């Protein structure tokens, strides 16, 4: 049985559970135990603190894990990064008090820097020839400069709001991270087969995120122009309508360009435009 480790609670828990659910791996939530068997797929889910997931997978106590890439990079355990999962995006950045003048990386020479990611920072400084004192702090790193514990911080940033409210400014983005699927190196063929099946389901779910299904009616004379406007997986489906000289088109559109696409289509005579939710794309 394949065992997959995910975060018990915290920022990645909900989306990890959702991804698994969308991929057809569900558990009965009544009483959550630390290890649960999926109802409909040969998988067990192990709930852990995110700090422990890379080591657990590296040791083979879980075969797969869903964790932020930042944790994988910091912990340094040997795991295979199998797939980016498209959620939990953030970056680890260097930030300094906004009253300071920043003139490039050499600013950090001789400075004290508070972080929960000492290994990632050490590596970055070594690569860039910087010598600084790295202070490993677990907990609220962002208050360290105001408390006089450090000159700068190296911490996770997503919106940047926490930095601003602590009088800090981001000066270097060092590591970009998102949730990733990791695996024990050298999984046996039986487990790898289940892992591959799961990854292909994940792929379908991830591909469907942010996509809409578009249906519309169009004069046949505007068809060529519509095809050039519409992004499609191969090319849009075109079906004749009972009404002569009209046709119906169907295609998949990225949500980001949905409104601009609709406006362009209307401008060339499209009518009866329907936008439908799209769940999964299986290629």
Q: Which residues bind ligand ATP (CB under 6 A)?
A: 7, 10-12, 49-51, 68, 70-71, 88, 90, 156, 158, 177
CB of residue 98 vs ligand ATP: minimum separation in angstroms?
19
21 binds, among ligand ATP, Mg ion, none (CB under 5 to 8 A by kind): none
Q: Which residue's CB is nearer to ligand ATP, number 15 or number 248? A: 15
Least Cα distance to 152 among 204, 105, 108, 101 occurs for: 108
**Binding residue count for Mg ion, defined by CB under 5 A:** 2
Determine which helix (DSSP H) or strand (DSSP E) holds 101, and give its type and residue range: none
Q: Residue 190: which region, alpha, beta or left (left: phi > 0; alpha: psi -120 to 50)?
A: alpha
Q: Which is nearer to ligand ATP, 49 or 196 (CB)?
A: 49
79 binds, among ligand ATP, Mg ion, none (CB under 5 to 8 A by kind): none
* Contacting residues for 185 by C-beta, under 8 A, at least 6 apart: 58, 78, 79, 80
Nearer to Mg ion, 70 or 251 (CB): 70
CA distance linking residue 99 with residue 237, whole number of Å: 58
CB 1 within 8 A of CB 43: yes
3-state DSSP assignment of residue 93:
strand
What SS3 state is found at 270?
coil
Which residues inside 44-63 make contact with Mg ion, applying CB under 5 A?
Answer: 50-51
Q: Which does 44 bind (CB under 5 to 8 A by kind): ligand ATP, Mg ion, none?
A: none
Distance in angstroms (rounded) separating the CA atoms of residues 55 and 231:
43
Q: Closest approach of Cβ 237 to Mg ion, in Å?
A: 47
Sign of the Cα torsion 176, 182, 186, 190 reads negative
Q: Which is nearer to Mg ion, 151 or 155 (CB)?
A: 155
Nearer to ligand ATP, 13 or 217 (CB): 13
Specify whether the CB–CB gap between 157 and 92 falls below 8 A. Answer: yes
Task: Give just the sign of the alpha carbon dihedral 52, 88, 184, 125.
Answer: negative
**Residue 177: which of ligand ATP, Mg ion, none does it interact with, CB under 5 to 8 A by kind?**
ligand ATP
Among Mg ion, ligand ATP, none, the one that 7 touches (CB under a kind-dependent 5 to 8 A) is: ligand ATP
Closest distance to ligand ATP from the beta carbon of 175 (Å)? 10
Residue number, 88 or 145, with CB nearest to ligand ATP: 88
The CA-atom distances, in angstroms, between 18 and each of 24, 72, 133, 205, 206 are 10, 21, 41, 10, 11
**Residue 88 touches which member of ligand ATP, Mg ion, none, C-beta under 5-8 Å by kind:** ligand ATP
Partner interacting with residue 156 (select from Mg ion, ligand ATP, none; CB below 5-8 Å by kind): ligand ATP
Q: Smallest gap, in angstroms, from Cβ of residue 272 to Mg ion? A: 51
CB of 139 to ligand ATP, least distance (A): 10
């Amino acid at each position: 049985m394949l065992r997959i480790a995910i975060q018990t609670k915290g920022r990645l828990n909900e989306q990890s559970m959702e991804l698994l659910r969308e991929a057809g791996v569900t558990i009965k939530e009544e009483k959550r135990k630390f290890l649960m068997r999926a109802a409909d797929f040969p998988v067990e889910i192990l709930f852990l603190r995110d700090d422990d997931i890379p080591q657990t997978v590296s040791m083979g106590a879980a075969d797969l894990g869903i964790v932020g890439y930042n944790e994988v990079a910091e912990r340094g355990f040997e795991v295979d990064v199998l797939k980016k999962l498209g959620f939990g995006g953030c970056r680890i950045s260097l930030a300094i008090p906004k009253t300071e003048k920043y003139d490039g990386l050499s600013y950090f020479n001789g400075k004290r820097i508070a972080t929960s990611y000492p290994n990632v920072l050490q590596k970055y400084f070594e690569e860039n020839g910087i010598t600084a004192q790295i202070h490993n702090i677990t907990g609220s790193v962002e208050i360290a400069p105001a408390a006089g514990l450090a000159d700068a911080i190296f911490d996770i940033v997503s919106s940047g709001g926490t930095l601003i409210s602590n009088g800090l400014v981001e000066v270097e983005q060092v590591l970009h991270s998102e949730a990733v699927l990791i695996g024990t190196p050298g999984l046996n063929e039986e487990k790898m087969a289940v892992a591959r099946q799961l990854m292909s389901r994940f792929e379908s779910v991830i591909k469907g995120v942010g996509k809409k299904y578009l249906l519309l009616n169009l004069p046949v004379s505007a068809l060529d122009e519509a095809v050039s406007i519409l992004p499609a997986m191969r090319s849009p489906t075109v079906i004749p309508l009972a009404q002569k000289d009209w046709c119906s088109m169907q295609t998949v559109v990225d949500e980001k360009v949905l409104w601009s696409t609709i406006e362009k289509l209307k401008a060339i005579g499209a009518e009866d435009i329907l936008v439908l939710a799209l769940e999964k794309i299986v290629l």
